[in-house]
Structure formats: structure tokens, C-alpha cells
Amino acid sequence: MGCFPSTRTKTFVQIADRLCTYNRAGKIPVKVRNKLGAVIGSQNITFQATDPILITSKEITLGSDKVLISSCVLPGLDPRGEYKKKCQDNCFYLYDESGILCCLFDGHGNQGELVAEFCQTIIEKLFYHEHALLSSNPDKFIRMATDRCDKELSQNTQDIDPEYSGCTGVLIYLTPSVIHCGSVGDSRGMIATTVKPEVLPAPPANLGAEREILAGVKQKRKSFVETQIFSIQLTQDQKPEDPEELQRIVNCGGRVQRLTDNLGNKIGPYRVWKQNANVPGLAMSRSIGDMIAKNIGVISEPVCTTYHRSPGDLFIVIGSDGIWDAMDNEDVGTFVECYRDKCKSNMSNHCVGVDICPSNSCIAQIVSEEARLRWYTIVEEEDVMIDDISCIVIEIRKNIGGGIKHSKRPVPMEEVSQEVPEGEGEGLRRAPTIKEITVRDPRRGSFVSDKIEGIDFLGEGEKK
């Protein structure tokens, strides 16, 4: 397989730079469908993308490593501008000489953002008051922390109603030799490494048929690096249809099924419902909060895993489902490895209202922007709002056993087209309301109202 001569390699670099520039204004043509679901045209809408509400970058010494941590939270949005979406994601990290604790919470429901903030308050207190437990038994600390968040939330005297609001959670504790992980729900952590472990810490997520629409954009925007890297999932997603999760929910009197549109088509993810009521519609089998769902088998106990570090470890990525709904583990791994050396390593502030590229952003923001760009394809096909996107990237700058430098390889001719489609990378696109469009799954949030026109919540086809 031949490589580009120097002039063509330069052309590719120019293309790659364009593909990694994210404009704040743009348009998207959304497919317009009739009542039978057939595409009858498309419409454009223009608007402004949201800026981050949180962005950080900091270098930390951990044992013999220099660790660079960056984080970003991009608020979701309704491209139509018809609904003011609250950002419900939250992420942060705490550290000392023993290790680094990274936490990410993705809220849902009417008060999901308050639940995510509440969890941060609890974790910060525990980090200082129970640090001996964190150092001696990280898995026990992670289980205790999520349990404490759930219990104190149910007993809180603040203005938070956790009946139909909650959040996912990922807690990852990085030490010089081991990574301890715990997850509740469908937010996720992964590690990119050049040495594939003999035993995987968690099974890779099943993307399902709904990701088929992203196959084309994945190929078109694929990143390339010289060294083969393995994107290893550190945490386990918990979905209601997973056999063990499903059995627990059914045993507790719940049911698991998908929504049904007015044509009888099953849409969106499997959800947890009361046996004879159209609530809560939770699209995960474990969560913090969601007290109404705790009576039908939804639990707050995290699934804990461990990963023993190796000299080939490059970086860790922790993300909400706003990342993983648009990119798979391999996508994220190769993308971060391709662009992280081009990004700013220290950020005291961030650009607002301007186009984003690696030279003015940290890697956590760039991967978040890339995920949002790929969401445009989901919007074009499904006419939904763009989810909140949050991300923490932990770069291991000097690995155990000595520093390892991974250079980029020339890109083979067969692996990249020389033209960028008109408008590629230019902002967001979505159409005005079309009343005859087939009803889509709201997709986001814990509670789904039973007043959505055209949706049958109690269809027998998927009842368990």
C-alpha cells in the first residue's frame, strides 16, 4: 500500500486541519418524512452552537509520571431554538500524592443538573474525610460513595426532588500502578494503550443498530496514527436489556420495553417502566436518584473493575453518553492520539463565540466538539436535540518504565479522500417542526411523559 508523495501528504494535512476546525455557526438539512416514515425532502436551519460551561487543563505529578488532565462540558441544545435545554452534565477531579480521583455525572429528569451537583458535593467531602479508605480499598470507597450519594439524596433537605430525577456516575481512581473504576449507568471510561491486556476489565459496549447511521461519518472522519493502539473499555455500561439487569428488574415487578410509534415501529433504547404505568421510562438499569425506579429493580450499586497499568498506556477518556452515542471506543482512541499533541496543554481561560481548533483548545474540548459534530448526523436522520457532552482526558506523559514517544505515520492513499464535502464541519443543522414527521424517541432523560402524541407506551410487542 503506497503512501502519498510530499505534496499530497501536505494536502491531507490541510484537509485534516479543516476537519478539526469547529465553527460556531452553521446549518444542517434534516430529513423530512411523511406519516408513513418516507423521506419527502429536507429543510435547513441555522443557529449558534453553545460554548463550554466548564473547561480545565492541569499537569499533575503522580509517582514517576507527569499526568496532564483536561476537562470540558458542552451544553446540549435544541437546534430549532424551541426548547431551552438545561445542561445536566458535571465532571471534576481531585488529587494528592497518592492518586487522582476523576468523577463524571450525567443528570436526567427535571432536576438532573441539581442531582449531579449534589453528587459532587458529597464526593468532595468523602475524598477528604474518607481518604484512608480510598487509599487502602478504592473499590470499597467507590461503592460507599455512590451509595452515600443515593441515600443522602433521598433524605436531602434541599430543594431537590429525586423521584423522577437522577444521574449516571463514573468514578475512576488513578494510582501509579492500578486504575480502579466504578460506574452507575451508561457514562463510560476507556484507556488507550499499545499493549493489549490479557484480561479485559469490562466488555466493550454493544453499539446496536441505531449507530448504523454514523458508519459513513465515522469512515469519512477516521483518524490515523502510526502506532497501533488498543481502546480498552474500563467501565461496564448498564442497560435494562442486559440479561442480569433485566432479570433483577422483572423480579422486582418492573418491565423493560421500547417505545412504539403510531405505525407500530419500535424506537429508541429499552427503558424501565412500572408494570401498569407509563413511568419512569429510564433508559438505564442503574442510577443515582430516580427514587421511583428504585421500587422496580433500578439500583445505585456501581459495577467496579480494575486495570493494572502497563508501560504502553497513553491516556484515559471518561465521557457521558453524549460522547459514546456519537463515537465508539476505537474512534475516540485514535482521534485523541492523533490530535492531543497539537492541543494547548495549559488553559487558564477559553475562547467564547469563536471557531474552535486544537491550537486554541485542550484535547478534552476537541474530542467533545468532534462528538457534537457527529451528532449532526443523528439530528439530520432523527430530528432530536443534541445531548449534553462532558469529557475528561487524562494523558500519561511519561509512562512507567520510561517515556515512550509515538510518532504519526504518513497516511496511505487508500485511507483518505482528497476532497472535503461542501460545508463539512460547518456548525449544526436541523429543520423546523414538520407535523407529518414520524414521531421520534425523545431519547434523553429519565421521565417520559405519557402525553407524547403517536407513541404507544404499553405495546405488547416488546413487553417482558
Q: 265: which 3 cell numbers?
A: 415501529
Mapping DSSP to helix (H, G, I), strand (E, B) and coil, where does residue 209 land?
A: helix
- How do 65-74 and 89-95 pair as beta strands? unpaired
What's the half-sphere exposure (Cβ side, CA atoms, 13 Å) at 400?
14
Q: Amino acid identity, residue 363?
A: I
Count of alpha carbons within 13 Å of 51, Cβ hemisphere only?
9
What is residue 208's predicted lDDT score, i.e. its pLDDT? 55
Question: DSSP readout, 399-426?
Answer: -TTS----PPPPPBGGG--S-PPTTTT-
Per-residue model confidence as pLDDT tens digits over 3-26 = 333 334 444 444 455 568 899 887
Please give the Cα distance from 37 to 265 (Å, whole number): 10
Structural element, H or E, at residue 103: strand 100-108
Identify the DSSP state of 205.
P
Q: What is d(CA 153, CA 266) in angstroms, rounded to the nearest whole number?
A: 34
What pLDDT is recorded for position 17?
A: 58
96-149 confidence digits (pLDDT tens)? 999 999 999 999 999 999 999 999 999 999 999 999 999 999 999 999 999 999
β-strand pairing of 230-233 with 389-396:
unpaired
Using CA atoms, how far apart are residues 26 and 423, in angstroms rounded to an integer? 8
Where do the structural domains in the chain lie, given as residue ranges?
A: 19-415
Q: Where are the alpha helices (DSSP H) in 187-281?
A: 215-220, 243-251
Candidates 3.60.40.10, 1.10.1740.10, 3.90.1150.10, 3.40.50.720; correct CATH number of 19-415?
A: 3.60.40.10
How far is residue 288's CA from residue 302's CA, in Å, rounded to a whole number? 10
DSSP per-residue letters across 296-343: GT-B-PPEEEEEE--TTEEEEEEE-HHHHTT--HHHHHHHHHHHGGGS
Beta partners for residue 22, in sequence order = 356
Around 132, how many Cα atoms within 13 Å sit in the side-chain half-sphere?
A: 1
Collect the ranges in the chain with pLDDT lower than 70.
1-19, 157, 207-211, 348-349, 398-464
